[in-house]
Amino acid sequence: MNQFQYVRATKPQGAIDAVAKDPTAKFIAGGTNLVDLMKRGIMTPQKLVDINRLPLAKIERQDKGLRLGALALNSAVANDALVRQHQPLLALALNAGASPQLRNMATVGGNMLQRTRCSYFYDLTMPCNKREPGSGCGALEGINRMHAIFGASDKCIAVHPSDMSVALVALDATVLVSGPKGDRRIAFADFHRLPGDTPEKDTNLEAGELITAVDIPDGPFTKHVHYQKVRERASYAFALVSTAAALDLDGNTIKAARLAMGGVAHKPWRLTAAEQSLVGQPATEASFRRAAEVAMQGAKAFKHNAYKLKLGPNTIVQALRTAAAA
């Protein structure tokens, strides 16, 4: 591991100043991804600013929703009574991610900022535009069975690994950030980026900006929810494909729906057209199949991931079926 300087921040502004002044500096909280990346020499910050002592770990009720502090642990959020009562989809998605040990270290902000698990990104002997812009993409002509079927570019076809983020984009969350230019709010759907020509940028955060909280508005999705994750072993594995599904039912009629997928794009992939196709329809297999067809429009496979074109719609249908029955 490269040598680096370590400083501990006690106030948000101090942390922001320390990172804004030094383009080689990074915030660190749980470190469950960043430390791995540093050990392998994939990320080489010259300075780590430890933000664990900042007062950003509360989970609290706001006027019209829940606020999750950026430093709230994944396990604390998943087990929180308010979260389970008002946003059970989020608790399901969190518990589908990682392992209990990792959920006890990882924070809300860190979960959102975790980097792709594309194996070429982690292999310093291979080209990777995300790790080293302009070097090429090893996955395009390589083994790409884990890779994207939506929104990829000729520069990068990686997927975002977070389960929590799939639920948060479905639930219309908003990210609160503070930075050198002040505070701002970013719709969760706009927080992560597609790769385009700049796959090295995972998010729309600007230099020195610190995630302080995530707001989730109240909604009717407190009962009929499900997070369906398909992976290669029963736990501690990233999604091949996942779906967050939430339904608001009046009898058997769908009043509103929320759907998003993971493991299919460079960002958590919201399925708004498929949601619209469900509104006013009966909660039946036929409606779910139609929504899944709508959801998959525009999907494009690479050499080794064509299975996702079948697995994707089946995962959506299973998520909706289970949510409706919940």
Q: Which residues bind ligand SF4 (CB under 6 A)?
A: 116, 118, 120-121, 128-130, 137-139, 156-158, 199
CB 78 to ligand SF4: min, Å: 28
Tokens at 135, concatenated: 């070097």
Nearer to ligand SF4, 199 or 312 (CB): 199
- Chain centroid to CA 309: how far? 21
Nearer to ligand SF4, 42 or 244 (CB): 42
Nearer to ligand SF4, 103 or 266 (CB): 266
CB 112 within 8 A of CB 175: yes
User: What stretches of 67-143 show up as alpha helix (H) in DSSP?
Assistant: 74-79, 81-86, 88-96, 100-103, 108-113
Nearer to ligand SF4, 118 or 167 (CB): 118
CB 243 within 8 A of CB 260: yes
Nearer to ligand SF4, 121 or 238 (CB): 121
Nearer to ligand SF4, 180 or 196 (CB): 196
CB 41 to ligand SF4: min, Å: 15
CB 303 to ligand SF4: min, Å: 13
| DSSP assigned state of 282 | B
CB 195 to ligand SF4: min, Å: 7
**Residue 291: what residue type?**
A
CB 210 to ligand SF4: min, Å: 25
CB 157 within 8 A of CB 148: yes
* C-alpha pair distances (Å), 151 with each of 194, 199, 247, 314, 324: 6, 12, 26, 20, 29
Bridge partners of 214? 68, 175
CB 141 to ligand SF4: min, Å: 10
CB 179 within 8 A of CB 16: yes
Nearer to ligand SF4, 200 or 293 (CB): 200
Distance, CA of 243 to CA of 320 (rounded, Å)? 9
Tokens at 11, concatenated: 């106030």
For 162, how many CA atoms within 13 A lie in the half-sphere containing its CB? 27
Nearer to ligand SF4, 115 or 258 (CB): 115
CB 108 within 8 A of CB 70: yes
CB 299 to ligand SF4: min, Å: 17
What SS3 class is residue 7?
A: strand
Distance, CA of 68 to CA of 302 (rounded, Å)? 37
CB 324 to ligand SF4: min, Å: 35
